[in-house]
Amino acid sequence: MNFQFSKWTVLPAAVLLLGTVVVGQDTTSTGSSTRGTTTTAPAPKPTIAQRKENQQDRIANGVQSGQLTAGETSKLETKEAAINGETRADRAANGGKLTAAEKQQINQQQNQVSKQIYNDKHNANTAKYGNSKVGQRQENQQDRIAQGIKSGQLTAGETAKLENQQKGINQQVKADRAANGGKLTAGEKKQVNKEQNAASKNIYNKKHNANTQQPKK
Mean pLDDT by 10 residues, the chain (217 residues): 48 46 42 55 84 96 97 98 96 95 97 98 94 95 97 97 98 96 96 98 97 71
For position 71, what pLDDT does the model report? 97
* Structural domain span for residue 149: 48-207
Report which of 57, 51, 55 is spatially closest to residue 98, judged by C-alpha positions.
51
Alpha-carbon distance of 87 to 84, in angstroms, equals 5
The pLDDT value recorded for residue 4 is 52
Inside any domain, residue 135: yes
The answer to the question of residue 217 being in a domain is no
| pTM reported for the whole predicted model | 0.78
Distances (CA, A) of 170 to 89, 177, 196: 35, 11, 10
The reply to whether 20 falls in a domain is no
- In whole angstroms, give the CA distance from residue 103 to residue 100: 5
Task: Give a yes or no: residue 40 inside a domain.
Answer: no
**Inter-axis angle of helices 48-65 and 70-93, nearest 10:** 170
Number of domains in the chain: 1
Instruction: Kindly state whether residue 82 falls inside one of the protein's structural domains.
Output: yes
What per-residue confidence (pLDDT) applies to 95?
95
Which of 123, 103, 112 is closest to 80 using CA atoms?
112
